[in-house]
Amino acid sequence: MKYMLLIYEPEDVYEGPEGQKALGEIVAKHMKLGEDLRAAAVAFGGAPLQGSATATTVRTGPDGAQTLHDGPFAETREHLGGYYEIEVENLDQAIQWARQVPVMPGGMIEVRPHAVYG
């Protein structure tokens, strides 16, 4: 099955000189995770995303009219910061990989299976 591992983190942890240092360490851990996934022959993809300040939201109203908004759709402290997509046997394996996705304290990984139709 294919699973999305959605990375949610408070964004302010990467601000300032300390934050930049932390970011460097986290990026190195992501590189290592990529190597581990390849070594385990797990098909995967993914990307880091730019900060939520760069987000633009297209909203469709009840009448179908579309409007544009500056910013992400939800005002929360944690924002979607990136994702992996992995193909593994089952939820337990997906959770095993999710545990290895590096995050700063307060970060969360949401594990979501792809929907399969037909």
Partner 1 sequence: MSTWGQLIAAARPHVIAALAARLRDLDMAEDAFADASAAALVAWPIEAPRDPAAWLWRASLRRALDAKRRAAVRDHAVYDAPESPPTPEEALMAADQPIPDERLRLIFVCCHPAIAPESRAALTLKVVCGLSTERLARAFFIAEPAMLQRITRAKRKIAAAGVPFEVPGREAWPERLEAVLSTLEVAYVQAYEDAALAGEAAGFADEVLRLSGLLAELAPHEPEVLGFAALVRLAEARRPARLDDAGAMVPPDRQDLTLWNGGLIRDGAALLARAANLGRSGPRQILAAIHATHCARAESGRTDWPAIAALYDILADLRPHAAIAVNRAVAIGEAFGADAGLTQLAKVQGMDGWLPFQVALAALSAKAGRLEPAAAAYEAALALNPAPAERLYLEARRRDLGGSSQPVRRGDG
Residues lying near partner 1 in the complex (CB under 8 A) are found at 1, 3, 89-95, 111, 113, 115, 118
Instruction: Give whichever of 13 and 111 is closer to partner 1, judged by the CB atom.
Output: 111
Instruction: Give whichever of 3 and 83 is closer to partner 1, judged by the CB atom.
Output: 3
Least distance to partner 1, CB of residue 69, Å: 31
Instruction: Give whichever of 3 and 14 is closer to partner 1, judged by the CB atom.
Output: 3
Find, among 42, 46, 117, 51, the residue nearest to 87 by Cα: 42
- Count the Cβ atoms, other than its own, within 10 Å of residue 15: 12
DSSP conformation letters of 66-114: EEEEES-SS--SEEEEEEEEEE-SSHHHHHHHHHHS---TT-EEEEEEP
Least distance to partner 1, CB of residue 22, Å: 28
* Residues 6 or more apart in contact with residue 6 via CB below 8 angstroms: 80, 83, 109, 110, 111, 112
CA distance 14 to 36: 25
Instruction: Give whichever of 105 and 118 is closer to partner 1, judged by the CB atom.
Output: 118
Least distance to partner 1, CB of residue 89, Å: 7
